[in-house]
Structure 1
Amino acid sequence: MADQVAKQSADAEAPSAWAKRLARWRGVWEQSVPRRCVTRALEIQITDRMMALAAQAFLALMPLVIVLAAAAPQGVSDGLVDAMRTRAGLGDSDTTENVESIASSAAEAGVTAFGSLLVLLSATSFSRALQRVYERTWRVAPGGLRSAWRPLAWIVGMIAYFVLLGFTFKITHSGGPLTVIRVGIAVCGSIALWWWTPFVLLSGRVRWRALVPTALCTALGTMGLGVVSARYVPHLLSTNESRYGTIGVAFAIESWLVVLFAVVLAATVLGAVLVDTRGRLGVWARGAVEHDGWQRTPKSGKFAAWTEDAHGDGTDKTSDEARDGTPGQAPGEASGKAPETPADGEEDPGVAQR
């Protein structure tokens, strides 16, 4: 009787089949890539970051594009406006004509070296914000003073990219077979840009191979957004412009920038999570079997902040061999002290043990 009661009690306490399945599914979800992407996105506060990046891009990058269009040759300037029509979906609206008139007015008035330098330095506020987002997404410490020049270098690289893009759109404007060349150059340029961007802003602490998923995801996302923008953004701009005037156009462009950086940050999170994943997917993403194989030590030396982040605390953790000496070397030799010898009449402890 007692055994039967104990058996019934054990059967009642044992989890049911549905409970086991639920626990198994929960474990699979906890280790899945979507769940880890959501966790990483919440960790970097993706909503606040994409809003901040959109605002800084509107205030910092747009003046830089206008100055660049004014200072560039006529062909490159026309190509930049054409690229804005294609990528941002501006079309042939009054807003595009206003941008062209502003650029032509600035070109006629002349762009001073001081004004260009001021716009360039103000644009680094955006690149610094983007750098902080990449560092938080990849969970690395700030680079410090050694990487202070990298946001400015990224802005210079972006200027070169804009010039190349404008020149490409100018020489392939006639259509036909040149359209295929334009699309190919635009795709390759987008992949190269988003492959080079995290490498520079992360101070070279992530291997090139590990940044391939981020570059591919970001390039595909931004190009897909460009296709959608070309269809819907012109209608949105014209509607806002007719209803609210210039302020409505500003709101529409700001909204488009928010969506753009939502795509960029989502692709960045996905790339970082894939690299940090264990198993075959993670090995393919980071290009190494080791879980920390995505890490890279810059040629200029290891950052102190990078070392602290890798160890989890600020202490200098050296190995026992580094503290006591090299392998095969006695502790006394590593510390520079001569080994102690037994005094006269005393027996060597090692001999006594033998």
Structure 2
Amino acid sequence: MTEKPSGAEPPPPPPPRWFQRLDRWLRASPLGLGWTRGRDMELMHRSMGFAALGFLTLVPVLVLVAAAEPDSGQGFARWLGQAIGVTRESQTQVEKLFGVPDTALQRTTAFGLAALAVFGLTFGSALQTGYEKVWDLPTARWHTMWRHVVFLALLVLAVLGFTNTPSPDGPVVGPLVVVVLDVIGTFLFFWIAQRLLLGGRVRWSALLPGAAATTIGLLGLRGFSQLVFSPLIASSAVTYGPFGTVLVVQSWLVGVGVVVYGGALVGRLAHDGRVFRRLKDSDES
């Protein structure tokens, strides 16, 4: 019989039973499942990658496309300011950073346009990988890369639609109609984008909760941005100059990444819960 070495500490006592039951209940709850799956798919790391790719590869494409607007080259900057929900002072800083002259398209070469398109396709590939992780699907084959082209075209059309949404007259009716149209357009975009990037491997009905959760999350992010990011843009622009605006916009893009991937994850959990209840009811009957 071996003796315990002197100075060895006894093992810690097990937690109380009520704590163990609470831990099991939390792990089995929707919040616990979401936390576990979000950690497994590295939600925060993917969101930071979403922000980096969006700023480096996607934003230049959208800025250049928005420069084709007949009125001015500030289309994307205006839309970005509206999406963040900034004040007029902060909107000025965003337009200074992302505004381009009307002659930008004439000065851009064909090689430059091709390079921007290739960089933009990288963003679609990263978003597809995140959706595949959410649904536990294998990586799509190389011949499905045409879907990234369609997704980029769909995204460009969506941004152009948001930047050119007509606003009816009226101090209340006009903004309300614009918000409703933006909500419907955002929902349809993410519903179609999930189906497109996943290659049709998930049914439309299963993707609907994820599109709804993403839309609601973006609305909540806009309200949060009005309270946090909008004053930060104004103060950071004074302290750090244009670089301060870049930091705030980059932080906002991280939040967008959390909402986009997190909304898809919420949709997956809602779909799994619905399937589980359906199987449970069939077994009881």
Instruction: Output the TM-score relative to the length of structure 2.
Output: 0.83
What letter is aligned with 1:165? F
Distance in 2 between residues matched to 1:70 and 1:173, nearest whole Å: 26
Other-structure match for 2:7: none
Q: What is the Cα deviation at residue 104 of structure 1?
A: 3.3
Distance 1:247 1:82, change over 3 A: closer
What letter is aligned with 1:274? A
Q: Which protein, 1 or 2, shows the higher relative CO under an 8 Å CA cutoff with sep ≥ 6?
A: 2
Other-structure match for 1:250: 246
What letter is aligned with 1:48? H
Q: Which one of the candidate residues 94, 97, 100 is aligned to 2:95?
A: 97
Distance in 1 between residues matched to 2:29 and 2:261, nearest whole Å: 19
Distance in 2 between residues matched to 1:244 and 1:102, nearest whole Å: 21
Q: Which one of the candidate residues 85, 90, 95 is aligned to 2:81?
A: 85
Q: What is the Cα deviation at residue 155 of structure 1?
A: 0.7
Distance in 2 between residues matched to 1:27 and 1:283, nearest whole Å: 19
Distance 1:113 1:178, change over 3 A: farther
After superposition, the C-alpha distances for 1:38-57 in whole angstroms (9 at most, x for unaligned) are: 11111111121111111110
Q: Which one of the candidate residues 231, 237, 240 is aligned to 2:236?
A: 240
Q: Where do 1:1-354 residues align within 5 Å?
A: 19=17, 24-74=21-71, 80-92=76-88, 93=90, 94-99=92-97, 101-104=99-102, 106-107=104-105, 109-168=106-165, 170-172=166-168, 175-277=171-273, 281-282=274-275, 289=278
After superposition, the C-alpha distances for 1:309-348 in whole angstroms (9 at most, x for unaligned) are: xxxxxxxxxxxxxxxxxxxxxxxxxxxxxxxxxxxxxxxx
Distance 1:103 1:290, change over 3 A: farther
Identity across aligned pairs (percent)? Answer: 25
After superposition, the C-alpha distances for 1:88-127 in whole angstroms (9 at most, x for unaligned) are: 23443342331464243525x5444443232122111111
Distance in 2 between residues matched to 1:84 and 1:248, nearest whole Å: 16
After superposition, the C-alpha distances for 1:128-179 in whole angstroms (9 at most, x for unaligned) are: 11111111111000111232111221111001101111121x4448644222
For the aligned residues, what is the CA RMSD? 2.5
What letter is aligned with 1:272? R
Q: What is the Cα deviation at residue 73 of structure 1?
A: 2.4
Alpha-carbon contact 2:77-2:95 (below 8 Å) kept: no
Report which of the two structures shows the higher radius of gyration computed on alpha carbons. Answer: 1
Q: What is the Cα deviation at residue 78 of structure 1?
A: 5.3
What letter is aligned with 1:104? D
Q: What is the Cα deviation at residue 220 of structure 1?
A: 0.3
Distance in 2 between residues matched to 1:82 and 1:165, nearest whole Å: 10
Other-structure match for 2:9: none
Query: How many residue pairs are counted as aligned between the two chains?
Result: 263
Instruction: Output the TM-score relative to the length of structure 1.
Output: 0.68
Distance in 2 between residues matched to 1:268 and 1:178, nearest whole Å: 31
